[in-house]
Amino acid sequence: MDGPMIEARNLEKRFTVRRHREGAFGAMRSLVDRGGNEVSAVKDVSFSINRGEMVGYIGPNGAGKSTTIKMLTGILVPSSGEATVAGFTPRESRKQLAQQIGVVFGQRTQLWWDLALADSLELLRHMYRVPEKRFRENLNRARELLVLDDFMHTPVRQLSLGQRMRGDLAAALLHDPKILYLDEPTIGLDIVAKARIREFLAALNRETHVTVLLTTHDLADIEQLCRRIIVIDRGQVVYDGELGALRNRFGGKRHVILDFDQDPGDAISTLAGNNLEIVDHNGPRVRVAFDRETTSTPRVLALASHHGTVRDVSIEEPAIEDVIRQMYEGPDSQHP
Protein backbone atom coordinates (compact mmCIF):
# COMPACT_ATOMS: atom_id res chain seq x y z
CA MET A 1 0.00 0.00 0.00
CA ASP A 2 1.34 3.42 -0.96
CA GLY A 3 0.94 6.54 1.09
CA PRO A 4 0.47 6.98 4.82
CA MET A 5 -1.10 4.31 7.00
CA ILE A 6 -3.32 6.76 8.86
CA GLU A 7 -4.38 10.08 7.49
CA ALA A 8 -6.73 12.59 9.08
CA ARG A 9 -7.74 15.60 7.03
CA ASN A 10 -9.51 18.38 8.89
CA LEU A 11 -11.48 15.98 11.03
CA GLU A 12 -14.27 17.55 12.97
CA LYS A 13 -16.82 16.00 15.31
CA ARG A 14 -19.71 17.86 16.85
CA PHE A 15 -22.07 16.25 19.32
CA THR A 16 -25.56 17.40 19.99
CA VAL A 17 -26.18 17.58 23.70
CA ARG A 18 -29.30 18.29 25.65
CA ARG A 19 -29.48 21.86 26.85
CA HIS A 20 -28.63 22.04 30.52
CA ARG A 21 -30.42 24.26 32.90
CA GLU A 22 -28.65 27.59 33.29
CA GLY A 23 -25.73 27.36 35.68
CA ALA A 24 -26.03 23.66 36.28
CA PHE A 25 -22.91 22.85 34.27
CA GLY A 26 -20.85 26.02 34.36
CA ALA A 27 -17.70 24.28 33.25
CA MET A 28 -19.42 22.84 30.22
CA ARG A 29 -20.55 26.17 28.91
CA SER A 30 -17.31 27.14 27.22
CA LEU A 31 -17.62 24.03 25.08
CA VAL A 32 -21.12 24.78 24.03
CA ASP A 33 -21.82 26.96 21.03
CA ARG A 34 -23.87 30.10 21.33
CA GLY A 35 -26.67 28.15 19.74
CA GLY A 36 -26.70 26.17 22.94
CA ASN A 37 -26.66 22.50 22.10
CA GLU A 38 -23.61 21.53 20.12
CA VAL A 39 -20.29 20.42 21.54
CA SER A 40 -17.24 20.48 19.31
CA ALA A 41 -15.29 17.49 20.57
CA VAL A 42 -12.83 17.63 17.68
CA LYS A 43 -12.56 20.87 15.77
CA ASP A 44 -9.85 20.51 13.20
CA VAL A 45 -7.43 17.62 13.32
CA SER A 46 -5.07 16.75 10.50
CA PHE A 47 -2.08 14.43 10.58
CA SER A 48 -0.44 11.72 8.61
CA ILE A 49 1.22 8.62 10.05
CA ASN A 50 3.43 6.24 8.10
CA ARG A 51 3.72 2.49 8.38
CA GLY A 52 5.72 1.38 11.39
CA GLU A 53 5.50 4.68 13.25
CA MET A 54 4.59 4.69 16.92
CA VAL A 55 3.00 8.02 17.66
CA GLY A 56 1.91 9.42 21.00
CA TYR A 57 -1.40 11.26 20.88
CA ILE A 58 -1.62 13.39 23.96
CA GLY A 59 -3.57 16.26 25.43
CA PRO A 60 -5.57 17.19 28.51
CA ASN A 61 -8.81 15.51 29.53
CA GLY A 62 -11.59 16.25 27.11
CA ALA A 63 -9.20 17.42 24.37
CA GLY A 64 -10.76 15.08 21.82
CA LYS A 65 -8.31 12.18 21.75
CA SER A 66 -10.79 9.34 22.14
CA THR A 67 -13.20 10.98 19.72
CA THR A 68 -10.44 11.15 17.10
CA ILE A 69 -9.59 7.50 17.59
CA LYS A 70 -13.23 6.53 17.29
CA MET A 71 -13.44 8.35 13.96
CA LEU A 72 -10.31 6.55 12.79
CA THR A 73 -11.87 3.18 13.60
CA GLY A 74 -15.23 3.94 12.02
CA ILE A 75 -17.11 3.81 15.34
CA LEU A 76 -17.97 7.49 14.88
CA VAL A 77 -18.62 9.32 11.63
CA PRO A 78 -16.92 12.73 11.31
CA SER A 79 -19.14 15.82 11.09
CA SER A 80 -16.73 17.07 8.46
CA GLY A 81 -13.31 16.19 7.13
CA GLU A 82 -12.05 12.83 6.00
CA ALA A 83 -9.90 9.98 7.24
CA THR A 84 -8.05 7.31 5.32
CA VAL A 85 -6.82 4.32 7.28
CA ALA A 86 -4.93 1.45 5.67
CA GLY A 87 -6.36 2.67 2.37
CA PHE A 88 -9.97 2.66 3.58
CA THR A 89 -12.39 5.40 4.46
CA PRO A 90 -13.48 4.22 7.93
CA ARG A 91 -17.11 5.32 7.68
CA GLU A 92 -17.60 3.52 4.37
CA SER A 93 -15.60 0.38 5.00
CA ARG A 94 -15.87 -0.29 8.68
CA LYS A 95 -15.94 -4.09 8.24
CA GLN A 96 -12.92 -4.26 5.93
CA LEU A 97 -11.09 -1.83 8.15
CA ALA A 98 -11.78 -3.99 11.21
CA GLN A 99 -9.54 -6.64 9.65
CA GLN A 100 -6.68 -4.14 9.51
CA ILE A 101 -6.88 -2.55 12.94
CA GLY A 102 -6.63 -3.63 16.55
CA VAL A 103 -8.10 -1.44 19.27
CA VAL A 104 -7.60 -1.34 23.01
CA PHE A 105 -9.60 1.09 25.10
CA GLY A 106 -8.06 0.97 28.55
CA GLN A 107 -11.34 1.90 30.17
CA ARG A 108 -13.31 -1.00 28.76
CA THR A 109 -12.64 -4.51 27.59
CA GLN A 110 -13.58 -6.43 24.49
CA LEU A 111 -13.35 -9.66 26.45
CA TRP A 112 -16.33 -11.42 28.02
CA TRP A 113 -16.50 -11.10 31.79
CA ASP A 114 -17.87 -14.58 32.38
CA LEU A 115 -15.55 -16.44 30.05
CA ALA A 116 -12.04 -17.61 30.73
CA LEU A 117 -9.47 -15.56 28.84
CA ALA A 118 -8.70 -18.53 26.58
CA ASP A 119 -12.38 -18.86 25.65
CA SER A 120 -12.74 -15.14 25.06
CA LEU A 121 -9.82 -15.25 22.65
CA GLU A 122 -11.25 -18.30 20.92
CA LEU A 123 -14.55 -16.50 20.44
CA LEU A 124 -12.76 -13.51 18.95
CA ARG A 125 -10.92 -15.83 16.59
CA HIS A 126 -14.30 -16.80 15.14
CA MET A 127 -15.57 -13.26 15.01
CA TYR A 128 -12.50 -12.06 13.13
CA ARG A 129 -12.33 -15.29 11.11
CA VAL A 130 -8.68 -15.74 11.95
CA PRO A 131 -7.26 -18.91 10.35
CA GLU A 132 -6.36 -21.57 12.93
CA LYS A 133 -2.65 -21.54 12.18
CA ARG A 134 -2.32 -17.78 12.38
CA PHE A 135 -4.36 -17.77 15.57
CA ARG A 136 -2.03 -20.33 17.18
CA GLU A 137 1.06 -18.38 16.15
CA ASN A 138 -0.25 -15.06 17.37
CA LEU A 139 -1.59 -16.55 20.56
CA ASN A 140 1.73 -18.23 21.29
CA ARG A 141 3.61 -14.99 20.79
CA ALA A 142 1.18 -13.12 23.03
CA ARG A 143 1.33 -15.85 25.70
CA GLU A 144 5.07 -15.64 25.75
CA LEU A 145 5.61 -11.88 25.54
CA LEU A 146 2.65 -10.90 27.71
CA VAL A 147 3.10 -13.85 30.08
CA LEU A 148 -0.52 -14.95 29.94
CA ASP A 149 -0.23 -18.58 30.95
CA ASP A 150 -0.93 -18.11 34.65
CA PHE A 151 -4.40 -16.80 33.96
CA MET A 152 -5.45 -18.19 30.58
CA HIS A 153 -8.18 -20.23 32.28
CA THR A 154 -9.34 -17.59 34.74
CA PRO A 155 -12.65 -15.84 34.08
CA VAL A 156 -12.01 -12.31 32.88
CA ARG A 157 -13.91 -10.79 35.81
CA GLN A 158 -11.34 -12.26 38.21
CA LEU A 159 -8.32 -10.84 36.42
CA SER A 160 -6.36 -7.93 37.85
CA LEU A 161 -6.43 -4.76 35.76
CA GLY A 162 -2.92 -5.45 34.45
CA GLN A 163 -3.78 -9.05 33.55
CA ARG A 164 -6.95 -7.93 31.82
CA MET A 165 -5.07 -5.31 29.84
CA ARG A 166 -2.57 -7.94 28.70
CA GLY A 167 -5.50 -10.11 27.68
CA ASP A 168 -7.01 -7.21 25.77
CA LEU A 169 -3.75 -6.58 23.96
CA ALA A 170 -3.55 -10.23 22.98
CA ALA A 171 -7.14 -10.02 21.74
CA ALA A 172 -6.45 -6.92 19.68
CA LEU A 173 -3.58 -8.64 17.89
CA LEU A 174 -5.09 -12.02 17.05
CA HIS A 175 -5.82 -11.05 13.46
CA ASP A 176 -2.41 -9.44 12.74
CA PRO A 177 -3.67 -5.89 12.39
CA LYS A 178 -1.49 -3.43 10.53
CA ILE A 179 -2.56 -0.68 12.90
CA LEU A 180 -2.99 -0.67 16.64
CA TYR A 181 -4.97 2.05 18.40
CA LEU A 182 -4.29 2.16 22.11
CA ASP A 183 -6.42 4.51 24.16
CA GLU A 184 -4.97 4.72 27.68
CA PRO A 185 -3.63 1.16 27.77
CA THR A 186 -1.70 1.72 30.99
CA ILE A 187 -4.36 3.58 32.95
CA GLY A 188 -4.51 2.44 36.56
CA LEU A 189 -1.64 -0.02 36.23
CA ASP A 190 1.23 -0.34 38.67
CA ILE A 191 4.82 0.24 37.59
CA VAL A 192 5.60 -3.42 36.94
CA ALA A 193 2.51 -3.94 34.81
CA LYS A 194 3.22 -0.74 32.89
CA ALA A 195 6.78 -1.79 32.21
CA ARG A 196 5.63 -5.16 30.92
CA ILE A 197 3.19 -3.57 28.51
CA ARG A 198 5.74 -1.03 27.29
CA GLU A 199 8.30 -3.74 26.63
CA PHE A 200 5.73 -5.75 24.76
CA LEU A 201 4.73 -2.80 22.57
CA ALA A 202 8.32 -1.89 21.79
CA ALA A 203 9.12 -5.49 20.79
CA LEU A 204 5.95 -5.82 18.76
CA ASN A 205 6.61 -2.63 16.83
CA ARG A 206 10.22 -3.63 16.22
CA GLU A 207 9.33 -7.11 14.97
CA THR A 208 6.12 -6.57 13.05
CA HIS A 209 6.32 -2.86 12.12
CA VAL A 210 2.77 -2.47 13.29
CA THR A 211 1.74 1.19 13.21
CA VAL A 212 0.70 2.41 16.65
CA LEU A 213 -1.31 5.42 17.75
CA LEU A 214 -1.07 5.64 21.52
CA THR A 215 -3.03 7.84 23.86
CA THR A 216 -1.85 8.06 27.43
CA HIS A 217 -1.70 10.28 30.47
CA ASP A 218 1.59 8.71 31.45
CA LEU A 219 4.29 10.64 29.68
CA ALA A 220 6.82 7.98 30.61
CA ASP A 221 4.94 5.69 28.21
CA ILE A 222 5.54 8.26 25.49
CA GLU A 223 9.16 8.89 26.37
CA GLN A 224 9.93 5.20 26.22
CA LEU A 225 7.94 4.34 23.13
CA CYS A 226 7.32 7.27 20.83
CA ARG A 227 9.71 9.44 18.95
CA ARG A 228 6.90 11.52 17.56
CA ILE A 229 4.01 13.07 19.42
CA ILE A 230 0.90 14.85 18.34
CA VAL A 231 -0.53 17.15 20.99
CA ILE A 232 -4.17 18.08 20.85
CA ASP A 233 -5.88 20.72 22.92
CA ARG A 234 -9.56 21.64 22.70
CA GLY A 235 -10.03 19.70 19.52
CA GLN A 236 -7.06 21.15 17.64
CA VAL A 237 -3.54 19.97 16.99
CA VAL A 238 -1.13 22.27 18.80
CA TYR A 239 2.06 20.30 18.16
CA ASP A 240 3.16 17.56 15.80
CA GLY A 241 6.79 16.58 15.80
CA GLU A 242 9.62 14.98 17.67
CA LEU A 243 9.51 14.80 21.41
CA GLY A 244 13.04 16.25 21.62
CA ALA A 245 12.17 19.22 19.44
CA LEU A 246 9.21 19.92 21.69
CA ARG A 247 11.59 20.49 24.57
CA ASN A 248 13.57 22.96 22.49
CA ARG A 249 10.57 24.85 21.34
CA PHE A 250 8.59 25.04 24.54
CA GLY A 251 11.10 23.97 27.14
CA GLY A 252 11.95 27.45 28.30
CA LYS A 253 15.30 27.86 29.98
CA ARG A 254 18.01 25.27 29.94
CA HIS A 255 19.86 24.70 33.17
CA VAL A 256 23.55 23.89 33.26
CA ILE A 257 25.37 22.88 36.42
CA LEU A 258 29.05 23.80 36.44
CA ASP A 259 31.37 22.08 38.89
CA PHE A 260 34.58 24.11 39.23
CA ASP A 261 37.62 22.53 40.80
CA GLN A 262 37.33 25.23 43.48
CA ASP A 263 34.87 27.92 44.52
CA PRO A 264 35.05 30.60 41.81
CA GLY A 265 34.17 33.24 44.44
CA ASP A 266 31.92 36.26 44.15
CA ALA A 267 33.46 37.21 40.82
CA ILE A 268 31.27 34.54 39.24
CA SER A 269 28.36 36.98 39.52
CA THR A 270 29.84 38.85 36.54
CA LEU A 271 28.76 35.89 34.40
CA ALA A 272 25.20 37.09 34.74
CA GLY A 273 23.96 39.47 32.12
CA ASN A 274 25.49 37.61 29.16
CA ASN A 275 21.99 36.40 28.36
CA LEU A 276 22.24 34.10 31.32
CA GLU A 277 21.35 34.02 34.95
CA ILE A 278 22.99 32.49 37.98
CA VAL A 279 20.35 30.48 39.74
CA ASP A 280 22.50 29.08 42.50
CA HIS A 281 26.07 29.33 43.73
CA ASN A 282 27.19 26.93 46.38
CA GLY A 283 30.97 26.57 46.77
CA PRO A 284 32.43 25.10 43.59
CA ARG A 285 28.99 24.33 42.17
CA VAL A 286 27.22 26.99 40.12
CA ARG A 287 23.87 26.57 38.45
CA VAL A 288 23.22 28.72 35.42
CA ALA A 289 20.00 29.17 33.46
CA PHE A 290 19.87 30.52 29.95
CA ASP A 291 17.57 30.84 27.02
CA ARG A 292 18.40 28.30 24.37
CA GLU A 293 17.52 30.81 21.66
CA THR A 294 20.13 33.34 22.64
CA THR A 295 22.99 31.32 24.05
CA SER A 296 24.43 27.81 24.07
CA THR A 297 26.17 25.45 26.45
CA PRO A 298 29.61 25.86 24.75
CA ARG A 299 29.31 29.62 25.11
CA VAL A 300 28.48 29.24 28.80
CA LEU A 301 31.53 27.01 29.20
CA ALA A 302 33.76 29.51 27.42
CA LEU A 303 32.54 32.30 29.70
CA ALA A 304 32.90 30.13 32.80
CA SER A 305 36.48 29.21 31.94
CA HIS A 306 37.50 32.79 32.80
CA HIS A 307 36.56 32.00 36.40
CA GLY A 308 38.43 28.77 36.90
CA THR A 309 38.70 25.20 35.70
CA VAL A 310 35.38 23.52 35.07
CA ARG A 311 35.71 19.92 36.23
CA ASP A 312 32.27 18.70 35.28
CA VAL A 313 29.19 19.96 33.46
CA SER A 314 25.69 18.59 33.53
CA ILE A 315 22.76 19.77 31.52
CA GLU A 316 19.29 19.54 32.93
CA GLU A 317 16.43 19.24 30.51
CA PRO A 318 13.05 20.32 31.79
CA ALA A 319 10.72 17.45 32.63
CA ILE A 320 8.50 16.67 29.70
CA GLU A 321 5.49 17.17 31.97
CA ASP A 322 6.59 20.78 32.51
CA VAL A 323 7.16 21.31 28.82
CA ILE A 324 3.71 20.13 27.94
CA ARG A 325 2.03 22.00 30.76
CA GLN A 326 3.75 25.15 29.58
CA MET A 327 2.54 24.46 26.08
CA TYR A 328 -1.11 24.20 27.12
CA GLU A 329 -0.81 27.38 29.13
CA GLY A 330 1.71 29.32 27.08
CA PRO A 331 1.21 32.00 24.43
CA ASP A 332 1.96 29.54 21.64
CA SER A 333 -1.11 27.46 22.30
CA GLN A 334 -4.03 28.44 20.18
CA HIS A 335 -6.75 28.88 22.71
CA PRO A 336 -9.72 30.78 21.32
Ligand X SMILES: Nc1ncnc2c1ncn2[C@@H]1O[C@H](COP(=O)(O)OP(=O)(O)O)[C@@H](O)[C@H]1O
The residues that touch Mg ion, with contacts defined as CB under 5 A, are 65-66
* Residue 304 partner contact from Mg ion, ligand X, none using kind-dependent CB cut-offs of 5 to 8 Å: none
Q: Does 109 bind ligand X (CB under 6 A)?
A: no
* Residue 41 partner contact from Mg ion, ligand X, none using kind-dependent CB cut-offs of 5 to 8 Å: ligand X
Q: For 119-167, give the DSSP string.
A: HHHHHHHHHTT--HHHHHHHHHHHHHHTT-GGGTTSBGGGS-HHHHHHH
Q: Does 32 bind ligand X (CB under 6 A)?
A: no
The answer to whether 173 touches 102, Cβ cutoff 8 Å, is yes
Q: Does 81 bind ligand X (CB under 6 A)?
A: no
List 17, 187, 193, 278, residue binding ligand X (CB under 6 A): 17
The answer to whether 175 touches 101, Cβ cutoff 8 Å, is no
* Residue 107 partner contact from Mg ion, ligand X, none using kind-dependent CB cut-offs of 5 to 8 Å: none
Nearest distance from C-beta of residue 318 to ligand X, angstroms: 24
Nearest distance from C-beta of residue 42 to ligand X, angstroms: 7
Contacts with ligand X by CB under 6 A: the residue count is 13
User: CA-CA distance, 16 to 22, in Å (whole number)?
Assistant: 17
User: CA-CA distance, 280 to 314, in Å (whole number)?
Assistant: 14
List 52, 62, 155, 284, residue binding ligand X (CB under 6 A): 62
Q: Does 31 bind ligand X (CB under 6 A)?
A: yes
Residue nearest to ligand X (CB): 41
User: 38-43 contacts: CB < 8 A, separation 24 or more?
Assistant: 38/14, 39/14, 39/15, 40/12, 40/13, 40/14, 40/235, 41/13, 41/14, 41/15, 41/67, 41/235, 42/11, 42/12, 42/13, 42/67, 42/68, 42/71, 42/78, 42/235, 43/12, 43/234, 43/235, 43/236
Nearest distance from C-beta of residue 237 to ligand X, angstroms: 12
* Residue 83 partner contact from Mg ion, ligand X, none using kind-dependent CB cut-offs of 5 to 8 Å: none
List 8, 45, 49, 64, residue binding ligand X (CB under 6 A): 64
Which residues lie near ligand X (CB under 6 A)?
15, 17, 31, 39, 41, 59, 61-67
